[in-house]
Structures are given as C-alpha cells and as structure tokens.
Amino acid sequence: MDGFNSELGSERTSQLPPDVRARALTEAKKEGIFAGLSSGLASAVVGQKLMGFNRNKTIVCGILSGVLAGYMFTQVS
C-alpha cells in the first residue's frame, strides 16, 4: 500500500464510533480464524493427496498455510 491509501484509511477509522470499530475488529478476527482453518485444512488435504507429502510435511504445510491465510485475511478485512 502506498502512503495515500494508509492515510485515508486511518482517517476513515478515526471518524467511526468506538463501538463500531470494536465490532469490526471482532468480526475481522472471526473471519480470519475461519479463513485460516479452512485454508489449513485444504492445503493439508492437497499436500497429502496430490503432492504425496508424509504426515509431518502435511502437518507443517497445513499449519503454515492456515496461519498465513488467517493473518492476511484479518489484515485485509
């Protein structure tokens, strides 16, 4: 993101009432958790079935994918 968009975004959120901002953050966290769990499960299945990963690689693949997807989804929301 460039500086203009981040400044505009902070200006918009500063105008929101505190309760609306708290609800939005709570919803973003819920959506991030759901996205991370879904992504982790999907990548573990793909890693095991299609790529032939063993058990340990499948677990690591699912965890890393889930954490990264959840983090990115929460940041974007």
Whole-angstrom distance, CA of residue 40 vs CA of residue 17: 35
Place of tokens 């966290």: 29
Q: How confident is the model at residue 2 (pLDDT cuts 50, 70, 90)?
A: very low
The tens digit of pLDDT for each residue in 28-77 reads 889 989 999 999 999 999 989 999 999 999 999 999 999 999 888 888 65
Question: Is 75:52 a contact under the CB 8 Å cutoff?
Answer: no
- What does the block give as tokens for 62? 């699912």
Mark out the alpha helices in the chain (DSSP H runs). 3-14, 18-49, 55-76
pLDDT at 22 over 70: yes
Question: Is 62:43 a contact under the CB 8 Å cutoff?
Answer: yes
